[in-house]
Structure 1
Amino acid sequence: MSLPWLLLLLHPIFSYSFIYNTFKSNHHNPNLTLNGIADITSNGILKLTNVSTHTIGHGFYPDPILFKNPDTNKVVSFSTAFVFSIVPRYRKLGGHGLAFTIAPTKDFIGAQPSQYLGLVNVTLNGKASNHLLAVEFDTVQDFEFRDISDNHVGVNINRMKSVNSTNAGFFIDGNSTKQDLCLHSGKKIQAWIDYDADKHQLDVTLSIYSNKPSTPILSVPVDLSPTFQDYMYVGFSSSTGVLASSHYVYGWSFNMNEKAESLDLDLLPSLFQFKTNKKRFRIWFMASIISAFCIIVIIVAVYVTTKKFNNTEVAEYWEHDLGPHPYSYKELKEATKGFSHKMLLGFGGSGKVYKGVLPDSKMDIAVKRISRQSKHGEKEFLSEVSTIGRLRHRNLVQLLGWARNKGELLLVYDFMANGSLDKYIYSSNNPKKILTWDQRFKIIKDVSVGLLYLHEEWEQTVLHRDIKAGNVLLDSELKGRLADFGLAKLYDHGSNPITTGVVGTLGYLAPELTRTGKPTTRSDVYAFGALLLEVVCGRRPVEVKASPEELVLVDWIWDKWREGRLLEVVDARLQGVFNKSEVMVVLKVGLMCSSDEASVRPCMRQVIRYLEGKVPLPEKLGPSCDDAVKGGFVVEIKEFAPSLMKMKSV
């Protein structure tokens, strides 16, 4: 007899229920199925994760449950209640959260931690074949999934972007005002999730008390029948990222076609069991005093060591934001096979980049090993930790962590399987590295969206200041992500950035930078324009081996524009296979962005509207555009262009 029919006989249809007041194993309360780093504590609490970084934990009811009525093929009503708490590594920074999950499997092979909560990965996210419902209790705001805050509850179906969400809170009966609730406060929080099959509605209710409020904080109209298979597993999934929390579940009840039984918080186990014995109290008190003294000694020792390693002001700036090292030097050395030459991905002025595989999770990473001998290397390290460490977007390369060892500084990133864009643009005639037009156009739009996020959508304005093909990395699906924030600068929206020295790469530098030294979003746009032109043409912004009239790419394209022969600049390796209207749009936008006058250049929001065809391009690009990159700037480029040929790559 097959398993589903056997279960149908053992468990009468739609009357399936269970309750855990403790997760200790007994005859009436079978063990959960655990994987990842999940564990049951000695006093019967399900601990999904600890404060280790980039980990996953699952705890699922061991048997599949029949959710669909065989006669109608519709999901029937169900209800669950559970008590959880989230205890962050750093008091104000939770990471990443947990999710009540209904899925066709207990083994989430290939699932990623961090924002994916151990349920899917970048490839599986959004696929209907996931058959996944996850009610997330999320403590990190992920802009990729358009999270509303770093303290929210969301309902996710097959993807990590919620179909609906709300800030965490609860109602007290008789009071219509929603009470604020911090998910990572460490307090016990009871959650109720109820699905009404007749109304096609999913309700989520929270409270810090044992009794269930009459008003849910989230009601989502949804028919789960197309999502669910006949038999599904129920349980919990959690993960950590650069930021980490311990995620606990104290008790859990579940019921098909009936309301789940609420849990009495006072009867559930506690994380810490204190004895009232006076002798033990005195021992505990003395141990606490000794521990506190040891901690003070350690803090003083760390302070002295930090001061020797770096000046106190700088160390406090970035260590306060990110806390102790999420990676050890030993771990990264092992991951890169001792920084073997065989693992080398590339190198430049700031240091070498290696591929690595983390020994525990087997996760692919990229490790930038910055030499401390260069003052620029130190500044770049601090800039990247303090900048990209707080940025989260699908079109930016994610900083996973960092480490340092004596005179070395190390940054750890998502591994981009296809390397940098410039290796494809300048790959000569290697057919495996010749990007199609569709691939190029998609990468252009990817980078434009990432740059818009930096300029307008994050909490501050971020100037990248080194946009170029070498700083655009491609993941396994050839999606473009902007990388290398070593030169980035931040300032508040509506204010002006401070005047600074001229930095960047020749050919991408806006003309006004050589006069004022003051970067703006429009100087980033200028560099983006140069990137657009080189992606279309397959050649560098400044080509020292070209004829004088073709030395400066934007000048050459303007000449072709005036002659009505603009399509002649398209990369010959495309062999004429491209969408002419899309190519014309990209070239024209590239010329607009490359205007000598900063005020004429479009902002990134305008650029995206042009690229997506939402607004037509102006018929005349503007007189200031026609005079772009002239005179002394061209002379300057001609004088210094040979230095571009000295760049090394692997």
Structure 2
Amino acid sequence: MCFSMFRSKSKNSSIIQPGKFTPSNTNINPTALNSPSSRSHSQSKSRSNEFNSKSSSISSRASLSSLKDSLPENPHIYDLSEIRSATSNFLLRPFSSSSSSTSWKCLIDKKQLIVTQRKLRRPIDNSELRRKLSLLCKSHHASLVKLHGASVSGNYLYLVYEFICGANLSDCLRNPRNPNFTVLSNWISRVQIIAGIADGLDYMHNCAGFKNGFIHNHVKSSSIVICEEPALVAKICHFGTAQLCGEVPEAISGEDDDDSSNYHVLKRVGSAVGKFVGTRGYMSPEFQTTGIPTLKSDVFAFGVVLLELLSGEEPMKVHVDSGSGAFRKVSLIETAREAVGSGTGRLRQWVDRRLRDSYPVEVADGLARVALECVLEDPGRRPDMGRVAGWISKYYLESKTWAQNIGLPDEITVSFAPR
């Protein structure tokens, strides 16, 4: 699957420290300034400075022009005719489709973009759409697919995203044509990817400028694109979908006096019994009961994605009992709890065998425990994404130290191209 690329850097990337500038001490002889030769030199220097100033001004204008072209545009409400024209009246072959959305890859204003059609849960007018878009389009993070704008027609919302070329995380981990192969065969690449996802969700929840944080509500491995920049990086798709489509109801936030929980209780306002859409294996217990997404339901889904990266397995599998022939659902969360509770020997059997036992067991155990904290049944006991991102950053640094000690390269580049 492809979507477009951010060129900004994640907050885990190396920070370049500005060098200290110490101006040199220049000794000036005041008598020399009055000599004819010095005046002539001063005039020529003045003309030279004027020329340099003009050329610098031209260069600055060129630089500003190129900078302006590179800056993101203001949030844009597209006319439906633009969307129809770009998608050949929606007859263009879909780029991807699911039960809740259809996407097309197309050209708009000479840019390759993705247009995603979703059904609105409740009506939205242009003023509300513009207000929400202005908040969402101001959000920039290296791990988020950029939202360019949207269009509304009837009961449908058309979201316009940048295009990123890559493959979704689910396909990277589980290739049906070759189950024994994965592009994520290196431990460092997996920890780097999960660190990027954690940072992106932390930004959405805590740093995007919205009072109670943006809820994603679609966190799953198929909604995360892995691309090359040149190392493998993760991009979270569908940013802003929950807010714009009305999946997050008009709500009042009841904050507990205990700040440690940081759990917001959301209540429906004037709504009847409604349907909600979720993906099996990623839905938290409270979301399955109420249909109301929260920050902590995002944390739950992230924990499942982390378990997928560690084990390579699907969130939910169906096994057939050899004796009775009955079908039995097996949850990845259950198998992870058994593995962590049974010691390192069982954990090594549970971790993806395609890693060939080349990983720090202590770090794998720590990450599995972080994931299990995220998928606790009680949402109030789950950590927030800020704390989770901090834990994962620590394990990422420990993984890099481990790789250096055994002589593995720090930066892993894997190509998706056929050989």
Q: For residue 380 of structure 2, what is the amino acid of its counterpart?
A: S
Counterpart-to-counterpart distance in 2, 1:393 and 1:519: 22
- Aligned residue for 2:184? 435
Work out which of the residue numbers 494, 507, 527 in structure 1 matches 2:301.
527
Structure 1 segments unaligned to the other structure (5+ residues): 1-111, 113-120, 127-143, 147-158, 165-194, 201-231, 244-321, 618-650
Task: Flag the 1:242–1:421 CA change in 2: closer, same or farther, 3 A.
Answer: same
Equivalent residues in 2 for 1:188-199, closer than 5 Å: 198=24
Work out which of the residue numbers 208, 211, 224 in structure 2 matches 1:472.
224
Structure 2 segments unaligned to the other structure (5+ residues): 27-57, 256-263, 269-273, 322-326, 399-419
Q: Which has the higher helix share?
A: 2
Equivalent residues in 2 for 1:488-637, closer than 5 Å: 488=243, 489=248, 495=255, 496-500=264-268, 503-515=277-289, 519-545=293-319, 551-564=330-343, 565-613=346-394
Are residues 1:447 and 2:228 paired?
no
Work out which of the residue numbers 486, 505, 528 in structure 1 matches 2:241.
486
Equivalent residues in 2 for 1:103-114, closer than 5 Å: none
Q: For residue 451 of structure 1, what is the amino acid of its counterpart?
A: L
Task: Flag the 1:544–1:423 CA change in 2: closer, same or farther, 3 A.
Answer: same
Offset, 1:418? 0.7
Counterpart-to-counterpart distance in 2, 1:440 and 1:561: 19
Counterpart-to-counterpart distance in 2, 1:614 and 1:577: 15
Equivalent residues in 2 for 1:78-117, closer than 5 Å: none
DSSP 3-state at the match of 2:318: coil
DSSP 3-state at the match of 2:266: coil
Cα-Cα RMSD: 4.3
Task: Flag the 1:333–1:431 CA change in 2: closer, same or farther, 3 A.
Answer: farther
Task: Flag the 1:603–1:403 CA change in 2: closer, same or farther, 3 A.
Answer: closer
DSSP 3-state at the match of 2:168: coil
Residue-by-residue CA offset, 1:206-233 (whole Å, 9 max, x unaligned): xxxxxxxxxxxxxxxxxxxxxxxxxx95
Counterpart-to-counterpart distance in 2, 1:398 and 1:558: 36
Q: Is the 8 A contact 2:317 2:329 kept in 1?
A: yes
| Higher RCO (C-alpha under 8 Å, 6+ residues apart) | 2
DSSP 3-state at the match of 1:470: helix
Offset, 1:476? 3.9
DSSP 3-state at the match of 1:413: strand
Offset, 1:431? 7.4
Residue-by-residue CA offset, 1:540-578 (whole Å, 9 max, x unaligned): 211124667771111112122222211212223334344
Q: Is the 8 A contact 1:440 1:535 kept in 2?
A: yes
Offset, 1:349? 2.7
Equivalent residues in 2 for 1:157-172, closer than 5 Å: none
Task: Flag the 1:557–1:549 CA change in 2: closer, same or farther, 3 A.
Answer: farther
Offset, 1:503? 5.0
Larger Rg: 1
How high is the TM-score relative to the length of structure 2?
0.63
Counterpart-to-counterpart distance in 2, 1:569 and 1:449: 26
Offset, 1:537? 1.6
Q: Is the 8 A contact 2:367 2:395 kept in 1?
A: no
Counterpart-to-counterpart distance in 2, 1:458 and 1:358: 27
Task: Flag the 1:199–1:516 CA change in 2: closer, same or farther, 3 A.
Answer: farther
Counterpart-to-counterpart distance in 2, 1:385 and 1:523: 23
Q: For residue 339 of structure 2, what is the amino acid of its counterpart?
A: K
Q: Is the 8 A contact 1:497 1:519 kept in 2?
A: no
Offset, 1:162? 11
Offset, 1:122? 5.0
Residue-by-residue CA offset, 1:220-279 (whole Å, 9 max, x unaligned): xxxxxxxxxxxx954333235331xxxxxxxxxxxxxxxxxxxxxxxxxxxxxxxxxxxx
Counting matched residue pairs gives 320
Work out which of the residue numbers 127, 149, 166 in structure 2 matches 1:401.
149
Q: Is the 8 A contact 1:425 1:535 kept in 2?
A: yes
Residue-by-residue CA offset, 1:286-339 (whole Å, 9 max, x unaligned): xxxxxxxxxxxxxxxxxxxxxxxxxxxxxxxxxxxx5x63x4445445545665
Counterpart-to-counterpart distance in 2, 1:454 and 1:355: 25
Q: Is the 8 A contact 1:145 1:161 kept in 2?
A: no
Q: Is the 8 A contact 1:610 1:616 kept in 2?
A: no
Q: Is the 8 A contact 2:319 2:329 kept in 1?
A: no
Are residues 1:241 and 2:85 paired?
no
Work out which of the residue numbers 145, 156, 165 in structure 2 matches 1:417.
165
Structure 1 vs Structure 2: percent identity of aligned residues?
Answer: 23
Task: Flag the 1:390–1:432 CA change in 2: closer, same or farther, 3 A.
Answer: farther
How high is the TM-score relative to the length of structure 1?
0.42
